[in-house]
Structure formats: C-alpha cells, structure tokens
Structure 1
C-alpha cells in the first residue's frame, strides 16, 4: 500500500438552516478533507468533522489539522505498511485525537477498497443493500420543529430525533406527540441534565420514546448506570463512547440500553467495527451517528450502517437536508425512508471535483 501523497483541504459551506442545541448554534460547517493517493493514481477520501470550536469535543478543525500535518501524516508516509489494519499500531504513540485518526484512516480504507475492487462496507461484512434513514430535528422553537417533522415525514424518514433540554423538553415532546402520536421518536439531551433531575427525567417515560440520548455528563458512564435503573426509557450513550474500552465499560456497568457509534469520534473504521462486534455479542442495539457532515463522511457512515448490528435507523439524512450542493456524486438521497447502498468500489460515490474546489479555502500536499 505504498502511498505517493496525502493531501489536506480545508473547506466550508453554510448550512441551509441553523442547527441549534443548548450548547451551540451552527450556521456554517468547516471540515478537513483527506485524500490518500497511491502510486497508480487511485485516491481514497476521508473527512475530519470536528467543529470550529470545542463545544462538542475537545478537538477542533485547527487542532485536527495540526495532528494530521505534524504527526499522523509523517508517520504514515514513512511507514511501508501492507494493510490498513496496521495503522492503529502505527499511531499508538499519538493519544486520543480520534477525529484526526478517523479521517486519515477513512481515506486509506477507501483507497484499499478501491485497490481491491470492492465496496467498502463489504470489506467488514456489510450485507445490506439499503439502509433505513433517521433525521435530526434541532431547533429552539417548537413550531419550527413541528414544521421540520412534517417536511421529513413526506420523505418517509424511519426515525426522528429531537434536541431537548430541561427548559423545553416537556413542551416540545407534548406538542410533538399530540401532533404525531405514532412516529418513531427519540430525544437527544447533549448532557443537559444531572442526577438531581431524575424525577424530571422520569416524566419523559410517558412519551413512548425509543431512547433518550446522553442525558448526563458528556464523559460519564457511571451515573448513567444509576439513571438507567430509574427509567423505563432506554438510555443511549453517544458522547461518552469514544473507544472500545468505553463501550465495554458501559456494557459491564449496564449504563445504557442502546449505543450510537460515530466513526469520527471513536477513531475510524477499526475501532467502530470492534465496538459493533462487541454490541452484537451482547445483544445491544446500535445506530450510526452523524456529525452534520459532507458527502464523504456521510458515505463512510452509510457503509458502516450496512453491518448487521445497526438495527436502528441512524443519523444519515439526504445531502439536501444540509447543503445546496454536496461534494459527492450522486448525492445521498433518502427515498421512502431508505438510502440505496452503492455497489461501486470504495465509498461507492464519485467526488464532485468542481464543487470541492469551489468550497476549498486551503490545500496542501505531503509526499
């Protein structure tokens, strides 16, 4: 797998509508695109998806670029490796920085799958030919949230996630359930509650939610174990699952009934598949999380969601939900609630080069 070059691009674009949580409002999305090229001219693509400020994770676009440029890329280009599964060992001296590792590993796995002439998901045992799609509703006004749900129902999304916090949860969920009593609905708290809120959280059991995602501390596993024992609604862990060890600890402590895997946040394909296999072994339902990403990261998530353990619709919406135009061709399209899985080698999508160049603000090549 001798690489001839690795290219980094900074790119950004405005969202079609603001993405609002109690932690931050995102109106413009900036990411890093990683391109890994071999000596035959084949190119694999990855996408680093930290935010520009550290509101969701400690990584940012700037810190991620630094880790790629000064540590991960030099190590990778200097190493004569034969298979992408060697990368975890190569990078073991770089602690954490999962989003930087994930983006580079994505690009190299995509390249490897293209060299092998196989769709990326099939390399890891993915068998689905279509994937159920879920959607995130993020607004600070319940009227707007209801309007978004109505729009998404027309597309047929199979699961709806509403962002909540202690000041709006009962109002939002009451009005949503009044208007749409039967939709598959879950709530995402983004760590807005504490154990002192247990009596309040127990009121949410009345809304027949699929799950409540990350109600307590973003780095907590222990207190979620205590909360799960006090709630009928399954707890889903997201922010606190950053590695295989985190997932294993959560299952040992019975901290949740559901886990979401965000490939970018756990360090890439290798870690994501290990967590998937662990959850399958323990019969814990999984779904694939999203990061308001562009098409490259979305394509990797789609490939991951073809694995058998992902039985709950994930955060893989149509490209058009966020972007006027995406950087892949064809764009990801949800039709009747599902996304057709491509069968071309690698991520299965082509790169829209003109659009990528249009959105790129900086580009540098390492050889």
Structure 2
C-alpha cells in the first residue's frame, strides 16, 4: 500500500541526433512529457508520454496530453492510496481515448510500485528474461545507397532485425535492392498506413522477398480490409496503429486481420493493458514484439521491462540511447551489445533519471 503524495509533469523538447522520416513526415526533434510521482516515503516513479508535437501518428499530441493529464488524470491519483498499479487503468476508463497520456501516469505508478517492493519493473510485470533482443528501425531515405550503408552499419553492430519504412514509390524497388546485398537478413517493412486494398499488387510483390512481416499496411481503423489483405498474401501482417486496447486486439484476432501485433505501451494505454494483450495473444498463438516511439530513456526502460514477458518473441525497436540522442535523461544509458540489451536489476525501471539533464531540456513544468 502506498500514497501518491505528489505528481510533477515535465514538458520536454530534445533535438534528435539525425532526422527520422516516415510516411507521416520528418522529425528533427521530440516534444514529449515526463511524469514523476512521489510517495509518502520520498520514492519517485517515472513515466513518459510518447506523444509528438503534432497529431500525425494518432489523435493525441503533446499539448493536448499536457492539458488532459493536468485536468483529468492527475486529480484521480494525487493524494490517493493504492495497493497495486492495476487499479489505475480502471480509474481512467471513464475518459475516452488519450491512451498515451494515461500510459504516462500509469507507467510512473508502476515504476513507483516496483521500487516500493524492492523489485524490478520487469519482475513486477511477470517478466523473466535476463536480456532482450534488439532490432533497429530505419526511416525513409532519398538515397538507397545511404540506406544500404546504414543497414550494414547496424548489422555490423549486431542488431538482430532491421525494419525499413516504406511508402508508395519507395517500396518494392527498395526491398529488392536490400535483398541483393543482404539476402538472409531478418528484414521487415513498416508502411504506417500508407496503402489501400488497391495496392494489393504491391503487397504481393513484397511476398517475393522473404520478409518477417509487413507492419500496418492499411489505414489504422480498418480491421476488415487487413483481414482481406492477409488472405491474399503470404507475408504476415503485423498491426500497430490499429490496436489501441484489448478489445481491438481480440477483434483483430477473430477476424484474421494479422498474425503478429506490435505492442506499444503508450498506444494501448499502459502496462496493465499491454499485459492483457500479451496474455490474449499468447493464448491464440499471435506473436508479439515491442515497438518504439523514439522514446527517451524513461520510455525505453519501460519497453525493456514489458519485452521480458514470454510471448514477446520478435526483437523490438528498443535501440541504444545514443542511437537517437546526444544526451539521454537516464543513467546509465541503454546500451546494445551484440544485438541484446541486458535487463537492469535495480528496483523499478532500473535506471536513474538525471534531473540535471531533464532540467536542461524542460520547457514547462507543473507540480500537483
């Protein structure tokens, strides 16, 4: 049992090491929110709201999440007594959507809970792995030669799986070129909803290249069209933006819309719901992996913890801290060695948040 004595929100803006391009556009920096919760004993737990500055990936973006957390979520938890973080998600259910904001507050409480029990967040969630495998996500690049060089660099660094972003006009030709030089590379593509069923011929062409999966080829809300497409191609479809909760995961499985699901903690509303989706998929033989949202070290640490659950069988998008950032907000940094990340063994998320770095990049702060 613990009491949430104080909640602090930090609106952050951090420049990325290099631009990252998807079919949604190009990101040069990340605007996101860190949430710190403190209990009556002075312990702190940390969560991250993985929104961006504009509502391109989902309806949420950083400014709306900031208001929603301040006005709706934090009043439900501050000065409240709790026994377990599984109590948080039901408290928030009356408010529609806003999953990334909900995830940030809930994630901070999960971290605090694990620390109060003297255990790791991974073990608190039921995870058992001592290390997780790491893949890498590469944005759309104008020059295929640059992409091939980037792939070689990451393969040489030991990353276990390469994901390449695609869009109409930069799809089959790009994959064909990659396969010329890397015929046996564990390779997948991510379309970020850039296609329709009118493009089924492109998806069938991609079948020729032995891909691990095609991630989110069609629009996020259309489970029926994804089911239709999956019947026509042999490459497994992986759903990302389509899955916001347990209910949508169940519907996708029943419709046959996918064979794999990418679980992003922020997208599904937090660790509690991510656990439920994990258990559902395990029961139905649907493989999982943990996706990334270009998180800082706080969100990255949460990803590492959830990926220790048994049914996360594909390498995730959690790369080393220095992959995207000149400076990260945690110590030690997340490091990848030979394509794996060792799961930290200190209580909670297993990393210390560096308040000096946080304060260097904070643009707004609120305390409750």
**Would the TM-score normalized by the shorter structure come out above 0.5?**
yes
| Aligned residue in 2 for 1:250 | 252
1:56 aligned counterpart, secondary structure: coil
1:97 equivalent in alignment to 2:98: yes
Contact map agreement 2:140 2:166 (CA 8 A) in 1: no
Residue 351 of structure 1, CA deviation: 1.1
| Counterpart among 318, 325, 328 of residue 326 in structure 1 | 328
Residue 352 of structure 1, CA deviation: 1.7
Q: Distance in 2 between matches of 1:89 and 1:325?
A: 36
Residue 92 of structure 1, CA deviation: 1.8
Superposed CA RMSD in Å reads 0.9
1:264 aligned counterpart, secondary structure: coil
| Aligned residue in 2 for 1:278 | 280
1:27 aligned counterpart, secondary structure: strand
| Aligned residue in 2 for 1:346 | 348
Q: Give deviations 1:4-30, integer Å, cap 9, x for gaps.
A: 100000111111111101221000101
Which deviates the most, 338-347 or 350-359? 350-359
The gaps in structure 1 that reach 5 residues or longer are none
Q: Give deviations 1:224-270, integer Å, cap 9, x for gaps.
A: 00000000100000000000001000000011011110000000011
Contact map agreement 1:16 1:321 (CA 8 A) in 2: yes
1:119-158 to 2 correspondence within 5 Å?
119-141=120-142, 142-158=144-160
Q: TM-score, normalised by structure 2?
A: 0.98
Q: Give deviations 1:124-169, integer Å, cap 9, x for gaps.
A: 2101001000100103222221121111112100000000112110
Q: Distance in 2 between matches of 1:285 and 1:86?
A: 27
| Aligned residue in 2 for 1:361 | 363
Contact map agreement 2:330 2:353 (CA 8 A) in 1: yes
Residue 116 of structure 1, CA deviation: 0.2
| Aligned residue in 1 for 2:23 | 22
Residue 215 of structure 1, CA deviation: 0.3
2:267 aligned counterpart, secondary structure: helix
| Aligned residue in 2 for 1:64 | 65
Contact map agreement 2:296 2:329 (CA 8 A) in 1: yes
Contact map agreement 2:3 2:79 (CA 8 A) in 1: no
Residue 78 of structure 1, CA deviation: 5.2
Residue 81 of structure 1, CA deviation: 2.7
| Aligned residue in 1 for 2:313 | 311
Contact map agreement 1:21 1:140 (CA 8 A) in 2: no
Q: Distance in 1 between matches of 2:125 and 2:15?
A: 34
Q: Give deviations 1:82-120, integer Å, cap 9, x for gaps.
A: 221111221121111100000000000000000000001
Q: Distance in 2 between matches of 1:200 and 1:114?
A: 49
Q: Give deviations 1:50-73, integer Å, cap 9, x for gaps.
A: 110011000000110011000100
Contact map agreement 2:331 2:353 (CA 8 A) in 1: yes
1:256-271 to 2 correspondence within 5 Å?
256-271=258-273
Number of aligned pairs?
366
Runs of 4+ in structure 1 over 4 Å off = none
1:291 equivalent in alignment to 2:297: no
Q: Distance in 1 between matches of 2:26 and 2:57?
A: 11
| Aligned residue in 2 for 1:2 | 3
2:194 aligned counterpart, secondary structure: coil
Which deviates the most, 126-135 or 351-360? 351-360
Q: Distance in 1 between matches of 2:325 and 2:145?
A: 22
1:162 aligned counterpart, secondary structure: strand
Q: Distance in 2 between matches of 1:28 and 1:90?
A: 33
Q: Distance in 2 between matches of 1:126 and 1:147?
A: 36
Q: Give deviations 1:202-242, integer Å, cap 9, x for gaps.
A: 00001100000000112221110000000010000000000
Contact map agreement 2:6 2:79 (CA 8 A) in 1: no
| Aligned residue in 2 for 1:116 | 117
Q: Give deviations 1:344-366, integer Å, cap 9, x for gaps.
A: 10001111221111111111110
| Counterpart among 299, 304, 309 of residue 302 in structure 1 | 304
The gaps in structure 2 that reach 5 residues or longer are none
